[in-house]
Structure 1
Amino acid sequence: MAEVTALYRYPVKGLSAEPLPALTLARASGLAFDREYALALGTTAFDPQNPEPLDKGYFLMLRSNEVLAALATRFDPETGQLTITRDGATLLSEDLTRPEGREAVERFFEAYVGPAAKGRPRLVRAADHKFTDGSVISPAFMRAVSLINLASVRALEERTGGAIHPLRFRANIYVDGLEPWAEMDWVGREVTVAGLRLRGLARTPRCAAVDVNPETARRDTNLPKALKRHFDHVDLGIYLEVLSDGAVAVGDRLNVMPQAEDAA
């Protein structure tokens, strides 16, 4: 039996994970305050009144801006307060519901990232819109959550000969107790966790973002290349579509419904 071992959300695209004891999911909107905000590059055109999904390359993100991994961020949905720390010291704490608070965040990242921000980045948000990587594929992918099978991470560690921090993969749900790569066969199958119904949408292909060490903010691996070399694919993890409203908590058991031919 697979068990949920950790849960995370990422309120601002590209910034640090927030561990939570439970996540509340909704079929209509996915995970609240996950990739709710993004820092659009100074050259990016984004209209909050008419939002269109954009490739992650239009925003600050780890694939191009590994310096982001050196920051620890915390967002309070009730107050709108975003706090940024580094090595335990608070660098910024601003209210994102106020224009001056958003401007302070933008100016911070303009100075912190430097020329790679392509000018002053804009902190953007839009109603019923999420800045997930899959948003460019379909609305279902925009609202999807991501899952990592820790046994697959260990299988990759065995082949590469080094420790791999699971947070490199920036998933919402981490599970253990499965066979390595079992999640690769979940596409189109229903997954249940404590009464919550999900369905496998697609395997998660990996890019250079996973090469950034979340503890050191250094690019110290080439995991997509290692995946291709050792397993003949570049996938690790799976996107799950939310089929019903409900909650998942650390310690919950996960079940995968059999395929039709399996049940026959």
Structure 2
Amino acid sequence: MRVERLYRYPVKGLTAEALEEVMLTPGETIPHDRRFALAQGDAPFDEAAPRFLPKQNFACMMKNAKVVLVRAAFDPRTETLSLAAEGHAPLAAPTGTPEGRAALGEWLIRFLGDEARYGTHSDGTPRPPRFTEVPGHAFTDQVRKGVSLLNLASLAALETAIGRRLDPLRFRANIYLSGLPAWAENDWVGQELLLGGARLSVFKRTVRCPATQVNLETGERDADVPRLLREHFGHTDLGVHATVLEGGRVAVGDALEPAVGADE
């Protein structure tokens, strides 16, 4: 089994960024993965007491298909995020200042248009969506921090069944794997894996949601992936989630194998 692709997604719902290698840390995500999000104005997210919230509280593919048309790039050296989309003036702004985050939020609100949801402050004034981050918090789709893995053979099996290609990035995994049979990963739950220099523990299968319906080129919902998975395979799972038990370097081309003696 081999790592074919590595990705991080600095802003929840926005552009994937390809990586050649990463350093994993116990109990954490890939560095900068889901570090930022646009919290909708009616979301009960509190930066002073951050906690997991379902993805619909943020701008995301599941609720806002057109976010795939935003081209986002994050430079961790300068802490700068660049945003661009057709019909909108591009923006590059620092993520580490209130002014920069406000500018990024305003840009995304303009892009979302009527999909930007407003709430109400305690004084009755409108509460707009806001671009946010909280040190140490990740806007993941799981309560546990970790990494997501996708078996490319399972994706190929789905493509064969439905008679069309699907961009692997519809599935927003961190680690894409080759060299194992289709659906073999479904048996990994509860097992430990060695990946490059790291050790992982698989804790659940990835249940696919309407986010995977979205065509990344057009922003249209053109394939009901959850329905197709259930129709052809009797479940809606594609991929698995794992926590990092022991950190280490992981690179494209690295091997993945079961951890010998993990259950002893």
Report the TM-score when normalising by structure 2: 0.92
- In 1, the alpha carbon distance for the partners of 2:258 and 2:89 equals 43
Compute the displacement of 1:258 (Å).
6.4
Q: Which runs of 4+ in 1 moved over 6 A?
A: 258-261
Verify: 1:127 aligned to 2:126, yes or no.
no
- Where does residue 84 of structure 1 map in the other structure? 83
- Where does residue 97 of structure 2 map in the other structure? 98
The answer (yes or no) to whether the contact 2:197–2:247 under 8 Å persists in 1 is no
3-state DSSP of counterpart to 2:159: helix
Matches within 5 A, 1:103-252: 103-119=102-118, 120-135=128-143, 141=144, 143-252=145-254
Task: Give the AA of the match of 1:239.
Answer: H
Unmatched runs of 5 consecutive residues or more in structure 2 = 119-127
Q: Comparing both structures, which one devotes a greater share of its residues to helix? A: 1
Task: Give the AA of the match of 1:144.
Answer: G
3-state DSSP of counterpart to 2:246: coil
- Where does residue 61 of structure 2 map in the other structure? 62
Compute the displacement of 1:253 (Å).
1.0
3-state DSSP of counterpart to 1:228: helix
- Where does residue 123 of structure 2 map in the other structure? none
3-state DSSP of counterpart to 1:133: coil
- How many residues align? The count is 255
- Where does residue 16 of structure 1 map in the other structure? 15
The answer (yes or no) to whether the contact 1:82–1:95 under 8 Å persists in 2 is yes
Equivalent residue in structure 1 for 2:256, among 254, 257, 261: 254
3-state DSSP of counterpart to 1:243: strand
- In 1, the alpha carbon distance for the partners of 2:254 and 2:262 equals 25
Deviations 1:211-245 (A, max 9, x none): 11122222110010000011100000000110111
The answer (yes or no) to whether the contact 1:189–1:258 under 8 Å persists in 2 is no
- In 2, the alpha carbon distance for the partners of 1:81 and 1:148 equals 29
Verify: 1:5 aligned to 2:4, yes or no.
yes
Comparing 78-87 and 4-13, the one that deviates more: 78-87
The answer (yes or no) to whether the contact 1:76–1:82 under 8 Å persists in 2 is yes
3-state DSSP of counterpart to 1:23: strand
The answer (yes or no) to whether the contact 1:189–1:259 under 8 Å persists in 2 is no
- In 1, the alpha carbon distance for the partners of 2:38 and 2:229 equals 30
The answer (yes or no) to whether the contact 1:168–1:214 under 8 Å persists in 2 is yes
- In 1, the alpha carbon distance for the partners of 2:4 and 2:113 equals 37
Unmatched runs of 5 consecutive residues or more in structure 1 = 136-140
Comparing 200-209 and 106-115, the one that deviates more: 106-115
